[in-house]
A and B are shown apart, each in its own frame.
Chain A
Amino acid sequence: MSTPVDQAKNAERFLADTVHEQRLDKLLWAMRMRRDAAARQVPEWEELRTLASEIKEHTLSNLSDYLIQFEAKATANGMIVHWARDAHEVYDLLAGQGSNMLVKSKSMLTEECEWRPFLERRGIRVTETDLGERIQQLDDQPPGHIVGPAIHKTTQDVAILFSKKYGSDPENEDAAYLAGVMRENTRPDILDARAGMTGANFVVAETGAVVVATNEGNADLSANTPPLHICSVGIEKIIPTTESLAVFVRLLTRSATGDRITQYTSTFRGPRKGAAMHVILVDNGRSARLGMKRFWHSLKCIRCAACMNTCPVYRRSGGLSYGSTYMGPIGIIMMPTFEIRKYSELPFASTLNGSCTNVCPVKIDIHEQIYGWREVMEENDQIQVVKKEAMRVADKVLSHPTLYQIATTTVSTALEVLPHFAVYNRLNAWGKHRDVPEATTQTFHEWYRTHRPKTNEEVRRG
């Protein structure tokens, strides 16, 4: 049985390095501000969010019909469509393609399926062509953010990494220089590869088209240079029509970075002349989640990362602290559907402040789902025994007025009993960076008994 990821401990480690923490916080908050500014320029912003949410809910409620429609159209367009239940089926499909080198653009689905290590173990060399994703690949780290995989790194970190891996100048932190180094080193792979893999942001049922949004153009290079284009896509990415695509394109980049649109929004309708195009429709737990009454809404996600950018916990923890493919608020509500025990602590990495829900372009009630997952963790006995025991004691004291009054009569006892719900597992956690409230000599209710004696007699009993 896997040990739960200790997000709190990982976050503490991240915080100890103030340079990286402050930089991440500022960078992502600036992203949130850019998102606000972009939304402000669209008067119908809230209507767009509602529309996007409704389109997604409609599509997910008729998922099989739309997927079959897509398959028929895509096949008619000359694509080869595969259906994969889980990562293993995906592996089988890819292994049959017989290529020893693959270039790929950024795709969270392939991270989710741990595709890269799987292929590498089988002798297939994989080169990431997205700059951030390549940085993470070279550093042997998973992405720390779903839009900017290496966003937690400074340019100095990248300069040092590239100097080790590519022999470039470790002192040169100029972003353009570093991007150039990466480009020089990955372009030959793009030219040599026999297969290129991309993800997809949307697939359109009506036309059988696959839509990929990037800023670097690397998906287009990966898809258009090698003779084989493999596109893997989660089944929840389907939308009904080109008209509905417009709604999502307007929301996606504005929510993600505050730009109106990505540099490249490419629609692939079929294979180019002399090349082949395969689309793999991947389930990997999605159907099961669709059947979860409280949690299926998370399938509406379009991976913009607005919830991460606004999340005060994410910004101060770093994406890697979640130990998961998807991180931040959306990760908290998705990951337990993959492996409940391993991600049982994630729902507690939130203050339930609700900012994530407000920025979500498809109106997923993220913080309500986080709250819901906490209850699921209790139902599945995934709450730490000490914590549960402390809560049991609290319930006993707080449901019995006499016990409560005894417990609170002197503040010293109160400090023992009351904040017990606060200090159960990490002893003195409150006092590490904070002073405890100053001692008072009398509780409110003691004061009330002496200062409003008459009223007190008249008070109704419970």
Chain B
Amino acid sequence: MMQAALMVPCYVDTFYPHVGIATLELLEKLGVDVVCPKDQTCCGQPMANSGCYEEARATEEHCARVFGSFDYVVTPSGSCTHHIRNKFSAGADSPEKQKLVRNTYDLVEFLHDVLKIRDFPWATFEHKVALHTSCSAIRGLNMASMSERVHDTVFSKPKALLSGVSGIEFVEFERVDECCGFGGTFAVTEEAVSAKMGYDKLAFMQKASPDCIISSDMSCLMHLQGCARRQKQDTPFYHVAEVLNGVSL
């Protein structure tokens, strides 16, 4: 039985525990022996992303200690995965850190590339969805093709997985991979621009009349949902893990 450690991003732990639960249940359904280290906190991205490299050190080193012994570390977050894989340089180098950097996967990558799962027979989702994939996932982890790279083959790992859920239908919308405006601390340091980007992203999606909005990154959704609720839109938002786990709308 394959063992994997579940890393629950700090904001998911706090604000979206149901996304952590869906990820856990989904991995369990797929026969993974899930270990959830109780001392886990955060990957250090919020600090490092703000330029506060020094302030990210202890958190990154803690993260490496907690997760550094696993062959697979899985997290339902493209941005945390991107940070660990590509930006994890604040803490001291160690064998644990190297192992963590090598072995961390976004949930979508883990299902798509490691377990190579395409069918989710327990899940039915007869709705039209607008799928948003984060910039970290697209341009940081290559989880989907990039619109700027016009000669590349078009693909999307989250879409490939969701296509294994019966009844699901995708709506097309303009500027599909334009940033939603979250950007970590950017969301508050550049509050006005960030919110405008969120409102614009929602408007493009809403034009396509989806039943709900789905993403593999809860941070983008926290921002988009905040924008939507302020505009009195009640469109539901789901993490990919919830849909793959068989949530009903």
Contacts and interface: CB of A to CB of B under 8 A. Distances in A.
A binds B: yes
Interface of A: 7-8, 11-12, 15, 21, 25, 29, 36, 39-40, 43, 45-46, 310, 312-313, 316-317, 347-355, 357-359, 367, 371, 374-375, 377-379, 383, 387-388, 391-392, 394-401, 404, 408, 411, 414, 418, 421-426, 429-430, 432-438, 440, 442-449, 452, 455-456, 458-462
B240 interface: no
A352 B37 contact: no
- Kindly name the residue among A351, A355, A440 whose own CB sees the greatest number of chain B CB atoms within 10 A: A351
Given A437-B226, A443-B17, A460-B69, A432 B195 contact: yes
Contact of A11 (B24, B49, B192, B198): B192
A408 B13 contact: yes
Contacts of A352: 49, 135, 183-184, 186
Contacts of A29: 175
B87 interface: yes
Nearest to A7: B190
A349 B189 CA distance: 8
A317 B193 contact: yes
- Kindly name the residue among A316, A317, A461 whose own CB sees the greatest number of chain B CB atoms within 10 A: A316
Interface residues of B, number: 82
B211 to A, nearest CB: 20
B36 interface: yes
- Kindly name the residue among B69, B151, B225 whose own CB sees the greatest number of chain A CB atoms within 10 A: B151
B55 A391 contact: yes
Interface string B48-70: 01111111111101100110010
19 contacts: A11-B193, A15-B192, A348-B185, A348-B189, A351-B135, A351-B182, A352-B184, A354-B135, A395-B59, A398-B58, A401-B40, A421-B50, A422-B187, A424-B188, A429-B188, A443-B17, A445-B38, A459-B38, A461-B38
A318 B119 CA distance: 46
Interface in B130-155: 135, 138-140, 146-151
Interface in B174-208: 175, 177-179, 181-200
A319 to B, nearest CB: 14
A354 B242 CA distance: 28
Contact of A399 (B21, B62, B189, B199): B62
A262 B120 CA distance: 53
B51 A434 contact: no
B229 interface: yes
Contacts of A353: 135, 139, 179, 183
Given A411-B14, A456-B36, A460-B37, 17 more contacts: A15-B193, A313-B197, A351-B184, A351-B194, A353-B135, A353-B183, A355-B135, A355-B146, A355-B177, A371-B87, A374-B49, A396-B58, A399-B58, A433-B230, A455-B34, A456-B38, A461-B38
B14 A418 contact: yes
Contacts of B225: 435, 437
B191 A462 contact: no
B107 interface: no
B35 A348 contact: no
A154 B222 CA distance: 35
A458 B33 CA distance: 12
Given A375-B53, A432-B191, A455 B181 contact: no
